[in-house]
Structure 1
Amino acid sequence: MSDDILYNKRKQTNKQALCLSEYEIKGFALAELEKLLNEVGKSLKDYPIMPFPNEIFLQSSCNRLIKEKASYDHAEMKIQHEELFSNLNPGQLEVYNPIISPVNGCIRNMLFVYGSDGCGKTYLWKTLCCRLRSEGKIVLPVASSGIAGVLLPGGRTAHSRFHIPIKLDQSSVAHIKHGSDIAELIKQTSLVIWDEAPMQHRHGFESVDRAFRDIMSAVDPKKNSLWRYYYCLWW
């Protein structure tokens, strides 16, 4: 990993003559390793024999998750949205409009939508994602199964995205730590789409809710519920 640090920093800064000391390379490498561990709910602090990077290296390291979700071409997303939106049927519009208005108005809520196979669920999700991404907003589409997650634009399984424990019980909590990349990503998310929600055990939702409550308590201790902060779509 340390062998790539100088190359990546030169690429990020667009300065091919950039030079880093051995101390700086070590610090940036440890910061990258810390962020990789954070994504799976771990930290270098969990391993006493490992050195921990200085805060300056952690702050200098870009949040790759936010960068990934915010790096869409707005103009391209707008064109795709216009094309997709023009083909929405009346049933899809009845779902589309009540979602976009609260999200743009920063009114947080939860909406459960049910539809049979072939009624255009995935098409609607794509339209919503393109609309919000064209405005620079972050959308997290997840699904309860891997196949459904692949069909969503930029989608992943809920277990992978939110670090839901494999073994669930009534007190389980998703492994998302304060200060991690995924925690900061959640704070900046405008919309969460959860496809095939009925396939997930209720303890899975509860574990995510507890994690979101904990994360959002740092933003507003009086309003720290997942459902009050995020407009979640379950289908």
Structure 2
Amino acid sequence: MQNKLAFECLDRTLRDIMKSVSPDRYNKLFGGVTVLLGGDFRQILPVIRKGSRAEIVAASISRSYLWSECRLFVLQENMRLRRGKNAAEQRRIKEFTNWVLDVGDGIIPHLDGGFSEDNTGNVQIPSEYCIQSESSDVNVLIDMVFPDLHERFTDVDYLRERAILTPTNKVVDHLNNLIFDKIGGESHLYQSADSVQCPVGCHENLTSAFPVEYLNSFKLPGMPPHKLILKEGVVVMLLRNLNQTVGLCNGTRLIVRKCLKHTLYVAVSRVTSPEGLICFIEKPEGGTGSLTMVENIQPLQIVNTPRGTVRLIKMIVGDGLYVFLPCSCLLCSICFVLLQK
């Protein structure tokens, strides 16, 4: 959800633009233009770097002068209930949906039996929503989500119906490594070009300030690692827009079909493409900006275990979607997003 300052900036901009049409529009909200805003305060709130709860709430649009002029429309029909095959299943889905909404509203009692004013504390997840196992080994979860993975890792329908959601990148990398080891075949290593290109007139000693070991240690969200190890059958996620007309966008799930020296032969895992669109992914050439630190890197990341993003969840169909919470979520809204998927 955007910061309230972004909406207020849009309001001032539209006022300035629309006053050329009619001077009276300068005094109207958004210059008299109807603006539709969609969102859910239970989900991700405005991101304030190292901000407190009060600062995050203050940045929400509900604390803006615009809020009093907004007309609220609330969704009333639960579309998930349409998927129920019988009355018992519909009742089960409705009970789970109501429980998830209570988590988002912060009205679920904590483990100590009480509530906290800042909505912090541990919440007990009902046992019927958890996997019952005598072992705490995460491989039990992996085998349940991906049964017979060593035999079916080339099946597009099998892979696109399954995923494990988890809130942190550290856990994502750990689970992806475990799943990667279960897939047979030869491993292929792709490394980024770790060099610094100085612009004209730049001091040559600038390169000494960025040693190769330092560049290779970067693990930034939304960027591939320096060493990307792939196998045939591994699910990866595209990290940049390549061809939007065929669905090659940031966040698209791909299945590696063949690993070449500089090119990957992949199948697009999409609900609208049952057979899977086949395409090639090449290393991009060149760089932009005054200082180029990393170039020629495959714009991919292994994603058998993605973080809980809405765009990615829309590409996963079926009942093979599980949530793994080895640690507490930093925000209640993050937990709510994971649970409602």
Same fold, TM exceeding 0.5?
A: no
Give the TM-score, by structure 2 length.
0.23
The structure with the larger Rg is 2
Between structures 1 and 2, the one with greater strand share: 2
Give the TM-score, by structure 1 length.
0.30
Between structures 1 and 2, the one with greater helix share: 1
